[in-house]
Amino acid sequence: MIWLARHGETAWNIAGRYQGRLESSLTSRGMQQAIALAEHVAALWANGQCVPRRLVSSPLERCTATAQQMARRLHLDVETDARLIEIAHGTWEGRYKGALERDDFERYRLWRDHPERVVFPGGESLADVRLRWKSFAAELLRHRQNTLVVTHDAVIRCALLEIQGRALDEFWTVRVENGAYAAIASADGGFTVVHECVADFLGNLRADSAGQAL
């Protein structure tokens, strides 16, 4: 079993700023989400469900801080892998969603309506993110270990679309939340999606992503 968890809520999530490769710390709620996620996974382990053997994180601090909560409770070391890093938003990084909707209107609308067509200036496309995921997924299949992965919104969306054989134009239909996770399992030389978004355990810690710059 592979768990694909999104990091906890960050200050820039709340502010509606594009993060990309830039750092933004977890909020108090984000840290509480990370703790709730860690306790949830630890409870699954204690109840005799799949035991995680590896913990791999994006190198960005919002992910490693989330992963550290699981590391403490599951007695695992945190590995980092650059293939799990967030999509590079290029010149959008650090900018507010509202400002980009005004100042870069055509590209912003294309990103919302046809995200598969966008290549961010100085950044990446969704196809680039998908290629990174495919490389990482091939390694997971070779290792055949139950693995916890802490990563980002775009990586999880691209991963689930790839596994389900769906096109990148369906990017926005995939549900991803701060501190929640998707579960995938190996099957027939690849993966199958077991759960797209497990978030109920967060209770009142669930964050409203409507204002986030995704």
Residue span of the structural domain in which 17 resides: 2-205
For residue 210, is it within any domain? no
For residue 212, is it within any domain? no
For residue 211, is it within any domain? no
pLDDT at res. 118 = 98
What pTM, to 2 d.p., does this model score?
0.96
For residue 75, is it within any domain? yes
Nearest to 63 by CA among 186, 154, 168: 154
Which residues of the chain fall short of a pLDDT of 50? none
CATH of the domain at 44: 3.40.50.1240
For residue 87, is it within any domain? yes
pLDDT at res. 48 = 66
What's the domain count of the chain? 1
For residue 25, is it within any domain? yes
For residue 154, is it within any domain? yes
pLDDT at res. 36 = 98
pLDDT at res. 137 = 98
pLDDT at res. 211 = 87
Please, which residues bridge with residue 125 across strands?
A: 119
pLDDT for 126-135, tens place per residue?
999 999 999 9
For residue 57, is it within any domain? yes
Nearest to 30 by CA among 15, 44, 45, 18: 15
